[in-house]
Chain A
Amino acid sequence: MVVSIIKKLFTSYGLVGAFGIVALIMHVAYYIANAIGQKRMGSAFAIIIGLILAYIAGKYTGGEKGLADIELFAGLSLLGGGMLRDYAIISTAYGVKFENLKKAGLVGVISLIVGVFFSFIVGAIIAAILGFQNPVDITTIGAGAVTFIVGPVTGSALGASSEVIALSIAAGVVKSVLTMIITPLIAPIIGLNNPTAAMVYGGLLGTTSGVAGGLAATDPKLVPYGAMTATFYTGLGTLIIPSLGFLLVRAIFS
């Protein structure tokens, strides 16, 4: 009886339950961060704990939505879903100086174009090296290295098989997860400590969730700058990869 009431609480008050779960994760993360004397790493630890829990839940349920596939934690898909994520990202733009954006405007555009092509070319080269010969497959996997949305969009536009599309999604997920984890570690080395560099970073990496998580763990003040350019990346990718990118690959491989 008690169990069923508790279960009902979690399922009918999903969002409230999610607030509680995230608060608990963050408390544990900041406790660890304090214990090792790295207070600023708190949010990075929280993100990593989230990813580990998502991995465990994926193993346990066989689903695709991490912890949210466990009925009790389904509310997390509302709190961590696209709607509230975008709403909160937009709010971080408050306090940004227009001057800073203007200064980095052109370089932001350049980094977007370089970023999309760079990731695509790297992904396509890896696919070719590992034995894929069909231009459609190579393009689709390259598109997955852009983001996990560009991959399937490109794959279905070109008529790739579902295995290849799944691979392209996996490549995109690797990119976004890795971005969340290594950004705070690599930030001092690559000079990611000012608004201009953050805009370049958003334009080059482009995975919205990766950039959002990576910058949050590095320096929350940089979030709006990176997020602003990153949000154009997937759109640009879905525009140029299935068209220009495919023509390029086909010219080389057939």
Chain B
Amino acid sequence: MEIYGMGIISLCMFIGTFLGNLLGELLGVSGDVGGVGMAMLLLVLISNYMESKGKPFPERIAKGIEFVSCLYIPIVVAMASIQNVLAAFKGGAVAFLAGGLATIGSMLLIPLISRSVHLKKVAK
């Protein structure tokens, strides 16, 4: 059943967010440290484990999960439409330069770091 797929995501989300909050408490940071990431990792581990056993999720369960991931882009569009874009423009030079240069600089670092991995692999 499709709802089982949606339930599996819920389960992963709750376990991951629980662990994220626990980690946050232990580190003394209020809030969730990497909960969504851990939930994703859990889903990857479960689905890869089932596949390695030769028992991948039945088609209808997979459909339930895929339905939610199809909603991802519309959700992102809705998210874009509720951002405080005006504040970004109003923040003035400090906000624009600090945020803008951090963004562009970080993007330019991507090839440096991902290429260094590539080189290491070639060296091996």
Interface residues of A (CB under 8 A from B): 18-19, 21-23, 25-26, 43, 46-55, 57-59, 64-68, 73, 76-77, 79-81, 84-98, 101, 104, 107, 110-111, 114-115, 118-119, 122-123, 126-127, 130, 132, 141-142, 144-146, 153, 166-167, 169-180, 182-183, 186, 190-192, 196-197, 200-201, 204-205, 208-210, 212-213, 216, 220, 223-224, 227-229, 231-232, 235-236, 238-239
Contacts and interface: CB of A to CB of B under 8 A. Distances in A.
A59 B72 CA distance: 28
A220 B72 CA distance: 9
26 contacts: A26-B73, A47-B80, A48-B80, A54-B81, A54-B83, A55-B86, A59-B86, A65-B84, A79-B74, A80-B77, A89-B72, A93-B44, A98-B48, A101-B41, A104-B117, A126-B98, A145-B99, A170-B91, A174-B96, A175-B103, A196-B114, A204-B113, A228-B40, A235-B24, A235-B31, A238-B31
B33 A171 contact: no
B107 interface: yes
B74 to A, nearest CB: 5
A179 B103 contact: yes
Contacts of B83: 50-51, 54, 66, 173, 176-177, 209
A166 B45 CA distance: 41
Contact of A205 (B20, B41, B66, B106): B106
B106 A115 contact: yes
Report the interface size class on chain B. Answer: 35 or more
Contacts of B98: 122-123, 126-127, 141-142, 144-145, 171, 174
Given A18-B78, A25-B77, A178 B72 contact: no
Nearest to B86: A58
Contact of A68 (B65, B69, B82): B82
Interface of A is mostly: helix
Interface in B90-124: 90-111, 113-118
Contacts, number: 327
A212 B79 contact: yes
Interface string B11-50: 0110011001001100101111111110111011101100
B33 A177 contact: no
A173 B91 contact: yes
Contact of B81 (A19, A76, A192): A76
Nearest 9 pairs between A and B by C-beta? A170-B91, A174-B99, A80-B78, A235-B33, A58-B86, A50-B80, A170-B95, A93-B40, A50-B81
A192 B110 contact: yes
Contacts of A235: 20, 23-24, 27, 29, 31-34
A53 B81 contact: yes
A170 B99 contact: yes
A91 B29 contact: no
Given A123-B102, A171-B91, A90 B12 contact: yes
A57 B87 CA distance: 12
B66 A88 contact: no
